[in-house]
Each structure stands twice: as structure tokens, then as C-alpha cells.
């Protein structure tokens, strides 16, 4: 599987609060499922921002969009910036 850094910006402006709450609950459930399957590795929120930055895994970028990111309940309201990454030879975390 390949690894990707994905920056996600979500814009829910105009949605009723009850719909936003429902979508966020569904999003949390789907994130747990994707973590359990190994697709979602890490997820961060920059301080003071409504963006997310995550480390994701998929077979390739097409697979990432079609079977991973596209399955997020909030995906119609999300913008994704995807960067494919690979291990760096000087990464102190490499085993």
C-alpha cells in the first residue's frame, strides 16, 4: 500500500445544525472503520483551524479517492489536497 498526506478542508456553511451533527457522527464512525482497515493511519487538526491533515494508505491515488476518501459522509463538502509520500532514508522513525 502507498502512503499519502491528505489535507482536508470542510465547508458546511448553510447546512442545518441537526444535519451537521448527524453527518459528524457518521464521519466519526467511518473514520474508526477506516482506521481499523489500515487506511487511516494518523489524523491531526492544525491549532485554530477547521482543516485536518492525515496520513492515509491505499493501493494508489485512484483507490484513495474512490474507496477511501469518497466514502467519508462529509466528502461532498470536503476539498482534498493529496500528496503521495515515501520513506526518507534519514527518517529517524524508520526501523
At 13-25, the pLDDT tens digits run 999 999 999 999 9
Question: 3-state SS of the chain: helix, strand, coil percent to 5?
Answer: 35, 30, 35
CA–CA separation, 22 and 42 (whole Å): 23
pLDDT, tens digit, 9 for 90 and up, residues 23-36: 999 999 999 999 99
Residue 84 has which C-alpha cell?
A: 503521495
Average pLDDT over residues 49-70: 96
Segment 49-65 mean pLDDT = 96
Other Cβ atoms less than 10 A from the Cβ of 54: the count is: 19
39 and 57 in contact (C-beta within 8 Å)?
yes
| Sequence spans of domains, the chain | 2-85
pTM of the predicted protein model: 0.92
pLDDT number for residue 94:
77
pLDDT recorded at residue 50: 83
Q: Which residue has the higher pLDDT, 95 or 82?
A: 82
Q: What's the rounded mean pLDDT across residues 81-90?
A: 96
CATH of 2-85, picked from 3.30.70.1060, 2.30.30.60, 3.40.50.300, 3.20.190.10, is 3.30.70.1060
Confidence (pLDDT) at 62: 98
Cell output for 87: 520513506
pLDDT band for position 1 (50/70/90)? Answer: very high
* Burial of 67 per CB tally in 10 Å (0-12, 13-18, 19+): middle
Amino acid at each position: 500500500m502507498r502512503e499519502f498526506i491528505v489535507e482536508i478542508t470542510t465547508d458546511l456553511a448553510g447546512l442545518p445544525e441537526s444535519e451537521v451533527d448527524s453527518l459528524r457522527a457518521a464521519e466519526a464512525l467511518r473514520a474508526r472503520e477506516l482506521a481499523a482497515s489500515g487506511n487511516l493511519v494518523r489524523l491531526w487538526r492544525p491549532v485554530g483551524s477547521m482543516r485536518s491533515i492525515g496520513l492515509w494508505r491505499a493501493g494508489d491515488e485512484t483507490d484513495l479517492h474512490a474507496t477511501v476518501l469518497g466514502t467519508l459522509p462529509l466528502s461532498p463538502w470536503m476539498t482534498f489536497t493529496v500528496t503521495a509520500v515515501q520513506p526518507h532514508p534519514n527518517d529517524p522513525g524508520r526501523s
